Amino acid sequence: MNIQNYQLVLAMIFAINEINLNPHILPNTSLGLEICNLTVRERNILRSVFYWLTGLSKSVPNYNCKKESKSIATLTGISWKTSETIGILLDLYKFPQLTFGPFDDAKIDTNQFPSLYQVAPKDAALFYGIASLMLHFSWTWVGLLITDDHRGAQFLSDFRTELEKNKVCIAFVETITYIGEGVARKLTYTQMQILESSADVIVTYGPTDFLTSVMDSIYRENKMNKVWVVNSKWIGKEYEQYTMLDICHGALTFSPHHEEIVGFTNFEQEATPIKYPEDIFLHILWSLKFNCLVLYSECKIFENCVPNATLELLPGRVFKMVMTEESYNVYNAVYAVAHSLHEKNLNQIQVQPQANIDRTLLSPWQLHPFLKNIQVKNSVGDHVVLDWKRKSDPEYDITNIVSFPAGLPLLVKVGTFVPSASKGKQLLISEYMITWPIGFTETPQSVCTESCSPGFRKVVLESKPSCCFDCTPCPDNEISNETGMDQCVHCPETHYANAEKRYCLKKTVTFLAYDDTLGKGLTFLSLGFSALTALVIGVFVNHRDTPIVKANNRSLSYILLITLTLCFLCPLLFIGLPTTVTCVLQQNVFGLLFTVVLSTVLAKTITVVMAFKITAPGRTIRWLLISRFPKFIIPVCTLIQVLLSGIWLGLSPPFTDMDAHSEQVYIIILCNKGSVIAFHCTLAYLGVMVFGSYLLAYLSRNLPDTFNESKSMAFSMLVFCSVWVTFLPVYHSTKGKVRVAMEVFSILASSASILIVIFAPKCYIVLFRPELNTLPHSNKRQHRSKILFKT
């Protein structure tokens, strides 16, 4: 018999002693026990059980030669395979069977095993507890070892479903065939899978001896540092050598919580061959472990014995003094049978007088109704229930195994899992108390891919689990301020992402201000050109009676120069904090002033053409020139522009707007033109006048006269048109303050082109070549020149 299993016997004896000493349970009745040690082979198990039932060495059904047997129930385990094999035979006799091994959901079908009762608590919430542990430590990449049976398959299904809900991936699943009380030894592939896997955490689910055999086999071949999470804390076995690198060192275990049975440890200490001389196993144990010589004929121990030897002196890997889960189940099973028998006796007293009761005529099958309905408390107050429908999910103790040399493991309780608690409070764990396996200086990080740091987001890889991913920086104006984010978050329009894209910064409100470098430059140009234009006006007024000033209609030149002065001042409306008033004035003043400028140029061009056509026969040209027709061009063209502006203001006037997208760190306050169509209609109208002026000026460029402005006006219109044709694509390709600056620059450039091209040559002659500013040098055709000056 396995020395570890001897605690099961002691737990059964301890419970029976408690009950026999309790006057409230089975008074005047003493409980006893029989112990049968079974082999691994199924055939031998059936033979041993049949002999125990009938007393016959050969299988002869319906015969019982064991007349003195008074057994009313049997306790079986630890493995389900053993209990199931025994149950097939016991069920033929309706003999009550209580199994103290792990609970099996698949065996709750009473039609298959009507005489079998499971003492162990349900473990339906175990997978949820282990999954909660994975989430607590952020272990998203774990391996799984399970038995190749229905219990392993059910655990895999439940565990995988729970992990997928929480985005935890299973790196590998290895199923190992479990045969009775042993394990198939074909573990080469499993060892390679564990060794090659990047998962640092391995979850195992199965019986205690299964876990022990698998882990020991893998450990001896490859001493790998892994964190094992197992469903039993009693995974120790009698190994020849233990070191600090023991595979169990640092493991975390889940085991059902139960209170400590008072007095059980002292009972184990007192269990010696002297106190129980009839227990042959104790004699053998003392002989093997304490070097005692035993005289079996006299049942005495002598020579070379360790003084005052007790089970407590044995190493923990050989015999554990703390009650195991299976021993606790045995303890509860004895109490369940005793209380059921007690209830049966009370029921029998009510039906049958006390004098007529024959206690020797008890049939085991009569105990079934009471076992099914039993619900009592044991000596420490824990509930004992055999009906699986009324079993509740137990609390789990989370234990950390710390191994020391010479096989001295220390079990440290580091947490609990309470399935019935509210969500978020089910798992309680003290990380500072955990000792991790050798090789881990801090909490292990079992992940397929390291979590993306703030500023990055996950990119799922094709044909890879969701836990295996790449990290890519967040797009522009998006952030991730936590590790492992799936998606980046957009910053509000009023904020922008910092360089690391970890948090949003508030944007600064700005506009094309006078104190900006760009604003200062444009203001300087605006004031400079307006001053220059005023200077030209002064020159023309001072030399108003000279031929070159009087040429091409002096009054139109004054109108043109004054309007150009205002055009150069117009950009000041675009600079500074935009308001509703300035936004309305910007476009309308710009349109009206340029309309006046272009209409004046058009009038001057028509004047030149009409002056040279007046000598030809016909009254129409003469009447138009005499009636001063060119002067009506300006108000008519201006009136058309006023109508366009009125429609613009009536339908969709300009307004102040905020541009939060053009520049990353700024919110730009600017004027929204309202109707883009109206703005382009204004430009189109100006373009028509430019084209008309250019066409007439071009046609009259070769007309004879010294002061003929046609060439200058044609070239100025060509430059003017080039500026605004270039303006349109640049305007639509820029944003923010640059767009405003481009419009201002176009206004200044186009105005300057007219000022410089038309008036610069005249000023040069007036100021530096006065000898050319006389009528004899400038007039070869007196008749045409006189008409031109008069106009």
Residue 333, pLDDT above cutoff 90: yes
Decide which of 414 and 305 is more confident: 414
The whole-number pLDDT of residue 11 equals: 94
The whole-number pLDDT of residue 405 equals: 63
Alpha helices in 263-397 (DSSP H): 264-270, 280-289, 325-351, 368-373
pLDDT, tens digit (0-9, with 9 covering 90-100), for 284-296 = 888 888 877 766 5
Cβ atoms of residues 451 and 458 within 8 Å: no
Residue 776, pLDDT above cutoff 70: no
pTM of the model: 0.67
Structure tokens at 523: 């203001």
Residue 237, pLDDT above cutoff 50: no
pLDDT, tens digit (0-9, with 9 covering 90-100), for 725-738 = 888 888 888 888 88
Residue 773, pLDDT above cutoff 70: no
The whole-number pLDDT of residue 660 equals: 83
> From CA 243, how far away is CA 31, in angstroms rounded?
44
Three-class secondary structure of residue 715 per DSSP: helix
Place of tokens 């303890």: 331
User: Lowest-confidence range among 342-356, 372-386, 464-478, 711-725?
Assistant: 342-356
Decide which of 225 and 436 is more confident: 436
Residue 240, pLDDT above cutoff 50: no
> From CA 161, how far away is CA 174, in angstroms rounded?
17
> From CA 607, how far away is CA 615, in angstroms rounded?
14
User: Lowest-confidence range among 68-77, 418-427, 619-628, 674-683?
Assistant: 619-628
Cβ atoms of residues 580 and 649 within 8 Å: no
The whole-number pLDDT of residue 431 equals: 92
User: Lowest-confidence range among 216-220, 388-392, 465-469, 579-583?
Assistant: 216-220
Structure tokens at 654: 């300009």
pLDDT, tens digit (0-9, with 9 covering 90-100), for 242-279 = 444 466 788 899 988 888 898 999 999 999 888 888 88
pLDDT, tens digit (0-9, with 9 covering 90-100), for 151-194 = 888 899 999 999 999 889 999 998 877 655 545 445 666 777 77
pLDDT, tens digit (0-9, with 9 covering 90-100), for 648-699 = 888 888 888 888 887 888 888 888 888 888 888 888 888 888 888 888 777 7
The whole-number pLDDT of residue 542 equals: 86
The whole-number pLDDT of residue 40 equals: 63
The whole-number pLDDT of residue 775 equals: 61
Q: Residue 789 — very low, low, confident or very high, per pLDDT cuts 50/70/90?
A: very low
The whole-number pLDDT of residue 788 equals: 41
Place of tokens 């508030």: 506
Across 26-45, average pLDDT: 79
Half-sphere exposure (Cβ direction) of 489: Cα atoms closer than 13 Å: 12
Q: Which residues of 239-277 are buried (b: 16+ CB within 10 A; e: fewer)?
A: eeebeeebbbbbbbbbbbebeebeebeeebeebbbeeee
Residue spans of beta strands (DSSP E) within 153-260: 169-176, 178-179, 182-183, 201-205, 227-230, 252-256
Q: Residue 417 — very low, low, confident or very high, per pLDDT cuts 50/70/90?
A: very high
Q: Which residues pair with 173 in a beta bridge?
A: 144
Across 601-610, average pLDDT: 76
The whole-number pLDDT of residue 64 equals: 61
Q: Which residues pair with 178 in a beta bridge?
A: 183
Three-class secondary structure of residue 169 per DSSP: strand
The whole-number pLDDT of residue 239 equals: 47
> From CA 129, how far away is CA 731, in angstroms rounded?
64
Cβ atoms of residues 400 and 129 within 8 Å: no
Residue 13, pLDDT above cutoff 90: yes
pLDDT, tens digit (0-9, with 9 covering 90-100), for 525-560 = 999 999 999 999 888 888 877 877 776 677 888 888
> From CA 388, how far away is CA 369, in angstroms rounded?
14
The whole-number pLDDT of residue 17 equals: 93
Residues 6+ apart with CB under 8 A from 593: 563, 566, 567, 570
Cβ atoms of residues 39 and 289 within 8 Å: no
Q: Residue 203 — very low, low, confident or very high, per pLDDT cuts 50/70/90?
A: very high
Of the candidates 727, 723, 724, 699, the residue with the CA atom closest to the CA atom of residue 711: 699
Three-class secondary structure of residue 229 per DSSP: strand
* φ, ψ at 173 (rounded to 5°): -130, 120
Across 88-106, average pLDDT: 85
Residue 416, pLDDT above cutoff 90: yes
Torsion angle of C-alpha atoms 615, 618, 620, 625, degrees rounded to 10: 10
Across 608-623, average pLDDT: 56
The whole-number pLDDT of residue 42 equals: 64
Structure tokens at 27: 């008074």
Q: Residue 224 — very low, low, confident or very high, per pLDDT cuts 50/70/90?
A: low
